Amino acid sequence: CCTMGEEHYLELCESPVQFEHASNVNNVFFDEANKQVFAVRSGGATGVVVKGPEDKSSVAFRMDDKGEVKCIKFSIGNKILAVQRTSKSVDFINFIPDYPHTEFTQECKTKNASVLGFCWTNWNEIVFITDQGIEFYQVFPDKRSLKLLKSQSINVNWYQYCPETAVILLSTTVQGNILQPFAFRNGTMSKMSKFEIELPVVPKPAKLSLSERDIAMATIYGQLFVMYLKHHSRTANSPSAEVVLYHLPREGACKKSHVLKLNTTGKFALNIVDNLVVVHHQSSQVRYTYSVYGGLSVSVAHSPKYFNNVCVYSSSWSVFQPDIIISASEGVGDRSVVKLPPTVNLLQDKGKLMDFLLRRRDCKMVILSVCSQILEGGEKGSLPVVATVFDKLNQVYKEYLEAEQTYTVAMESGPSRGSAAQKRPVRTQAVIDQSDMYTHVLSSFTERKGVSHKFIIAVLMEYIRSLNQFQITVQHYLYELVIKTLVQHNLFYMLHQFLQYHVLSDSKPLACLLLSLESTYPPAHQLSLDMLKRLSTANDEIVEVLLSKQQVLGALRFIRSVGGHDNVSARKFLDAAQQTGDQMLFYTVFRSFQQRNQRLRGSPNFNPGEHCEEHVVHFKQLFGDQALMKPSTV
């Protein structure tokens, strides 16, 4: 159990939605699974307006008025509508094209039970929650009927549902603080380990019971948590409220994991925004935001958003997971999102700041901006910070590359019997690759005025060190950036050392860059050739380099040394020899290829396909017909 640490300021913004004018609405419902708001209006026929997070998911329709609507939800994908009007049954309407739209009804199986509500766990699977247990059904829309798959008897006070994990949480016992979760997956229902919520201690003979309003379920970093708003009595040593988080694994016991101190009292509500726990305080209209990873507590002084002069922080608010607040009486909804740029100044510890940012949804450009700001901050003591940041970024980068490689291998080997289908890893914005760093940070950093070249080179080499540490292949353009920076500052001795001790890895693009530096730094020519030779796959490039320098005999000796003389183009070498204007060099090269032809084909003559006719004419002009090699006779 840990208490969150130092408080900082974080900016949240809202996305208000007006779903229907309040005077025309009898009831408002929110469907967590489909993230839809239902505005229901009665009178003659029941009119329903459904609005989702996007306009395209908004629909409007009418139903026969058969009584007050207690609950209404679409199945996943808006295929089947379920409507509860009584405490004994649930009505269904098909929204699948070409299926009958006539309503059909399912009564709960348990005698004398009252239906508290229902949850869709799949497009055709639904759970009835009653005060005496749960009933798990499969819906057959074509037959307009339901089949009971499984049921469980248990006294129920209230329930909560988490659609991301398909887990239903039931409150049991008199005090309501013994919670029994059930998990649903592919037509099966599993009973998970029950657990107890620790209620505040109150003076005898008073007794507390656990209220549904003080419990919320949500997934944080892919893990299911039960959040409890714990209100201490005024006589307690610590009267302020707190949020207690219980980690609920699919298998194993539920354990208390975090305690978030609120330092105030009153009416609260809980949301999850981008894996952050957001606590809404109604009376002060302040939001407290917590990151349960790394112990960061963020307090937000929130000025409430108004929509048509209506604030969602009203006495009639309803809060739904993960990030919705609705003022039912006013007909206004609000969806919170995190604005990351203001968080850059939250923490002086850039390592902790990077931990925070890497776990946010839209983080890439903010992370790159932080990297630029760190480098702009000057040299004093910043290199260890730079190293820490690079390592954190490259750890995430490496994890993604490994996941991609695993996926590729699995796809190439084909599906194995009994194994689940391999999912392609999702590239989140937290993956900052070498191209991102080069484009948005390093290339502009090397061009900055007033920064010592030693610090620039140190930063570049620190990034390369970090990549090597995580066994990530360094892209050639990063080495090129190092070389250009060294040349720009005439640090040729350092360039020579980097190449001699293989600090800069061999590559063809790097060898070509070295060649281009020959006029500025003559030893670069030999350094390039040495690099190409080490590559062993760059024979053609080495030949081209030597020929371009008119080192024709050197190119010929090299191609013989690697066993490629029999396959090279004679015309390429003869062209190069002729361009030198050295007659004896041309004679030597020409005779060398005549000897090759004799050895391979039994004749010194060139084949028509070799296109050496002009070189034969040139040879005759220089040395006469008699100088041509004659075919040998056996």
Computed on alpha carbons and rounded to an integer, the radius of gyration of the chain in Å comes to: 37
- The DSSP-derived string for 147-191 is EEEEEEE---S-EEEETTTTEEEEEESSSS-EEEEEEEETTEEEE
Sequence-ordered strand ranges (E) for 468-596: none
Q: Count the neighbouring beta carbons within 10 Å of the beta carbon of residue 396.
A: 18
Q: In this prediction, what percent of the chain has a pLDDT beyond 70?
A: 84
> How confident is the model at residue 228, as a pLDDT?
93
More confident residue, 376 or 337: 376
pLDDT digits (tens, 9 = 90+) for 31-60: 888 888 787 877 667 788 888 766 566 788
CA distances from 246 to 69, 137, 225, 252, 276 (A): 34, 29, 5, 13, 15
Q: Which of 168, 173, 163 is nearest to 117 (CA)?
A: 168
Average pLDDT score over residue span 515-526: 78
Average pLDDT score over residue span 321-333: 65
**Band of the pLDDT at 233, cuts 50, 70, 90?**
low
User: Quick one: 270 exposed, middle or buried, by C-beta within 10 A (0-12, 13-18, 19+)?
Assistant: buried
Average pLDDT score over residue span 392-400: 95
> How confident is the model at residue 20, as a pLDDT?
45
| Tokens read off for 412 | 């190439």
- Beta-carbon contacts of 632 under 8 Å, excluding residues fewer than 6 positions away, are 598, 602
- Alpha-carbon distance of 166 to 193, in angstroms, equals 15
> How confident is the model at residue 5, as a pLDDT?
32
User: Quick one: 606 exposed, middle or buried, by C-beta within 10 A (0-12, 13-18, 19+)?
Assistant: buried
CA distances from 499 to 344, 492, 530 (A): 38, 11, 10
Average pLDDT score over residue span 15-20: 48
Q: Which of 337, 336, 268, 261 is nearest to 299 (CA)?
A: 261
**Band of the pLDDT at 280, cuts 50, 70, 90?**
confident
- Beta-carbon contacts of 101 under 8 Å, excluding residues fewer than 6 positions away, are 93, 94, 95
> How confident is the model at residue 232, as a pLDDT?
76
Q: Which of 459, 513, 455 is nearest to 484 (CA)?
A: 513
- Alpha-carbon distance of 151 to 148, in angstroms, equals 8
> How confident is the model at residue 21, as a pLDDT?
46
Average pLDDT score over residue span 588-601: 92
Q: Which of 68, 82, 62 is nearest to 27 (CA)?
A: 68
pLDDT digits (tens, 9 = 90+) for 92-113: 999 988 888 888 999 999 989 9
Four-residue CA torsion sign, 598, 603, 606, 609: negative
CA distances from 384 to 377, 381, 387, 398, 462 (A): 13, 7, 5, 21, 9
Beta bridge partners of 475: none
> How confident is the model at residue 37, as a pLDDT?
75
- Alpha-carbon distance of 505 to 465, in angstroms, equals 12
What is the pairing mode between strands 276-281 and 286-291?
antiparallel
More confident residue, 300 or 340: 340
**Band of the pLDDT at 239, cuts 50, 70, 90?**
confident
- The helix-helix angle for 552-561 and 539-548 (nearest 10°) equals 160
**Band of the pLDDT at 19, cuts 50, 70, 90?**
very low
> How confident is the model at residue 450, as a pLDDT?
80
Q: Is the pLDDT of residue 327 over 70?
A: no
> How confident is the model at residue 6, as a pLDDT?
34
Question: How many CA atoms lie within 13 Å of 93's alpha carbon, on the beta-carbon side?
Answer: 14
> How confident is the model at residue 101, as a pLDDT?
81
**Band of the pLDDT at 460, cuts 50, 70, 90?**
very high
Q: Is the pLDDT of residue 265 over 80?
A: yes
More confident residue, 200 or 8: 200
Average pLDDT score over residue span 514-533: 79
pLDDT digits (tens, 9 = 90+) for 57-69: 678 888 888 888 8
- The DSSP-derived string for 437-475 is HIIIIIHHHHT-TT--HHHHHHHHHHHHHHHHHTTPPPP
Average pLDDT score over residue span 412-420: 68
Q: Is the pLDDT of residue 319 over 50?
A: yes
567 touches 596 (CB < 8 A): no
What is the residue-averaged pLDDT of the chain?
Answer: 83
Average pLDDT score over residue span 480-494: 88
- Alpha-carbon distance of 378 to 372, in angstroms, equals 11
pTM over 0.75: no
The 3-state DSSP class for residue 562 equals: coil
**Band of the pLDDT at 335, cuts 50, 70, 90?**
low
264 touches 205 (CB < 8 A): no
- Alpha-carbon distance of 606 to 612, in angstroms, equals 7
- Phi and psi dihedrals of 126, rounded to 5? -140, 150
- Alpha-carbon distance of 40 to 389, in angstroms, equals 52
Lowest-confidence pick of 311-315, 369-373, 449-453: 311-315
Residue found by looking up tokens 């159990």 in the block? 1
